[in-house]
């Protein structure tokens, strides 16, 4: 069961926790730290440090006591966000940009979502740890020379140059070098000015590694074209085709022909509209369908694996474990014992 909480209710719960002393705040010129527990969250630590006037570092750690879905009325600020999921999984929907998508440990995302509202789901018993770098794109990136500017991901270049102000969201992977820097940030050995200096350097290093993941041109010749409403309709059609053909999906080229888009526009558009690649969406849907089939208890694991298009049972088991944090065999046993 998932408890649904509106943004207003959430704010009231937090306010009550402040008034009751369950959550306390510590503030200085550059830092703010909130820590404590509230009705649905325990062991929360929410720390933010201003590194520069246009660069911030945030570390947020908490554990939900129930499965909760927050319907946020607050809109995203107009900053560029580089977010790293260190531990804990969640689901989110950025309204007008993505369907509900998974934000899983080991993943990262690049976002620019001014004015966008979010619905986020957290799961009981999982310690969530996120590290976020927030950047004012106009002032921070305008300091770059022309060659440095060209090395930025295309969506960020468009924002900085004033070409467009469209929301953007794209996921990547936390690499081993990123993991090393994240641990150095989380275990900073310094205080005072040295702490500020150390964390600014590590943050910039982490930014470089993160932005490099999105440096590859996405069919550059056509990617400057803004998606038309008809393109978006075709991209939704492509998603539906993939959903209906989990066991025998078309290739990307075949899919592009089926919906009447070139493959470059389909690749770029799918990521922009749904926050993941066509293959990523297919993979997520296969695993979710597999989970639903296992819940019925009418099929063996090998049959479920084949039914959703996994030819290799070991690969299916590993993918299922990464997605849901449990092996399919153990999942089946738990479901059987709970009946």
Query: SS3 for 211?
Result: helix
Burial of 155 (0-12, 13-18, 19+ CB in 10 A): buried
Rounded to the nearest 10 degrees, what angle do helices 263-274 and 278-296 cross at? 60
Res 164: pLDDT = 60
CA distance from start to end of the chain: 15
Cα dihedral sign, 229-231-234-236 = negative
In the chain, what is the greatest distance between 2 CA atoms, to the nearest angstrom? 63
In this structure, are 178 and 326 located in the same domain? no
In this structure, are 77 and 63 located in the same domain? yes
CA atoms within 13 A on the CB side of 110: 21
Res 225: pLDDT = 59
In this structure, are 35 and 115 located in the same domain? yes
Residue whose structure tokens are 């607050």: 74
Compute φ and ψ for 275, nearest 5 degrees: 75, 15
Query: SS3 for 181?
Result: helix
**What is the CATH classification number for the domain harbouring 33?**
2.60.120.10
Cα 149 to Cα 156: distance, rounded to the nearest angstrom? 9
Q: Domain of 101?
A: 3-212
Cα 76 to Cα 95: distance, rounded to the nearest angstrom? 11
Res 186: pLDDT = 96
Q: Which two structure tokens, joined as six digits, stand for 319?
A: 């993918």
**What is the CATH classification number for the domain harbouring 293?**
1.10.10.60
Cα 196 to Cα 216: distance, rounded to the nearest angstrom? 32
Q: Are 133 and 55 in contact (CB under 8 A)?
A: yes
In this structure, are 199 and 265 located in the same domain? no
Cα 50 to Cα 31: distance, rounded to the nearest angstrom? 6
In this structure, are 38 and 87 located in the same domain? yes
Of the residues 275, 293, 320, the one at which a domain ends: 275
In this structure, are 119 and 244 located in the same domain? no
Within 10 A of 6 (CB to CB), how many other CB atoms are there? 13
In this structure, are 230 and 155 located in the same domain? no
Res 25: pLDDT = 87
Cα 87 versus chain centre, distance: 12
Task: Profile the chain (339 residues) by mean pLDDT over runs of 10 residues.
Answer: 87 86 87 90 92 92 94 73 94 85 90 85 94 89 79 81 74 92 96 95 95 63 64 92 87 88 84 79 88 89 84 70 81 78
In this structure, are 52 and 150 located in the same domain? yes
Cα 88 to Cα 4: distance, rounded to the nearest angstrom? 19
Compute φ and ψ for 27, nearest 5 degrees: -135, 145
Cα 272 to Cα 168: distance, rounded to the nearest angstrom? 6
How many domains does the chain contain in total?
3
H or E stretch covering 13: helix 7-19
Query: SS3 for 135?
Result: strand
In this structure, are 227 and 198 located in the same domain? no
In this structure, are 271 and 325 located in the same domain? no
Of the residues 192, 212, 232, the one at which a domain ends: 212
Phi-psi region of 115 (alpha: psi -120 to 50; beta: other; left: phi over 0): left
Q: Are 252 and 281 in contact (CB under 8 A)?
A: no
Res 315: pLDDT = 62
Rounded to the nearest 10 degrees, what angle do helices 229-244 and 263-274 cross at? 90
Phi-psi region of 268 (alpha: psi -120 to 50; beta: other; left: phi over 0): alpha
Whole-number Cα distances in Å, 205 to 31, 77, 87, 179: 21, 24, 21, 12
Res 221: pLDDT = 43
Of the residues 168, 189, 212, the one at which a domain ends: 212
In this structure, are 199 and 228 located in the same domain? no
Q: Are 98 and 73 in contact (CB under 8 A)?
A: no
In this structure, are 299 and 253 located in the same domain? no
């Amino acid at each position: 069961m998932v408890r649904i909480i509106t943004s207003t209710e959430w704010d009231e719960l937090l306010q009550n926790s402040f008034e009751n002393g369950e959550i306390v705040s510590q503030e200085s010129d550059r830092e703010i730290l909130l820590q404590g527990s509230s009705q649905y969250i325990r062991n929360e630590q929410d720390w933010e440090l201003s590194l520069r006037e246009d660069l911030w570092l945030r570390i947020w750690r908490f554990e939900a006591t129930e499965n909760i879905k927050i319907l946020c009325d607050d809109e995203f600020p107009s900053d560029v966000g580089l977010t790293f999921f260190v531990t804990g999984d969640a689901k989110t929907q950025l309204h007008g940009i993505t369907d509900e998508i998974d934000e899983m440990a080991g993943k990262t995302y690049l976002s620019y979502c001014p004015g966008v509202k979010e619905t986020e789901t957290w799961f009981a018993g999982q310690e969530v740890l996120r590290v976020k770098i927030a950047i004012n794109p106009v002032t921070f990136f305008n300091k770059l020379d022309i060659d440095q500017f060209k090395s930025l991901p295309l969506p960020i270049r468009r924002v900085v140059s004033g070409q467009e102000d469209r929301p953007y969201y794209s996921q990547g992977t936390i690499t081993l070098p990123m993991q090393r820097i994240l641990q150095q940030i989380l275990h900073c050995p310094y205080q005072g000015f040295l702490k500020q200096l150390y964390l600014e350097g590590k943050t910039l290093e982490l930014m470089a590694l993160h932005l490099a993941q999105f440096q590859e041109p996405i069919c550059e010749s056509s990617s400057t074209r803004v998606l038309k409403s008809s393109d978006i309709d075709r991209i939704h059609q492509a998603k539906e085709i993939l959903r209906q053909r989990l066991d025998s999906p078309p290739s990307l080229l075949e899919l592009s022909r089926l919906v009447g888009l070139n493959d470059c526009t389909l690749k770029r558009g799918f990521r922009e509209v749904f926050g993941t690649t066509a293959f990523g969406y297919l993979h997520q849907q296969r695993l979710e369908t597999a989970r639903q089939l296992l819940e019925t208890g009418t099929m063996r694991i090998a049959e479920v694996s084949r039914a959703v298009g996994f030819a290799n049972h070991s690969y299916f088991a590993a993918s299922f474990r990464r997605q849901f944090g449990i092996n399919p065999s153990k999942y089946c046993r738990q479901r059987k014992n709970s009946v």
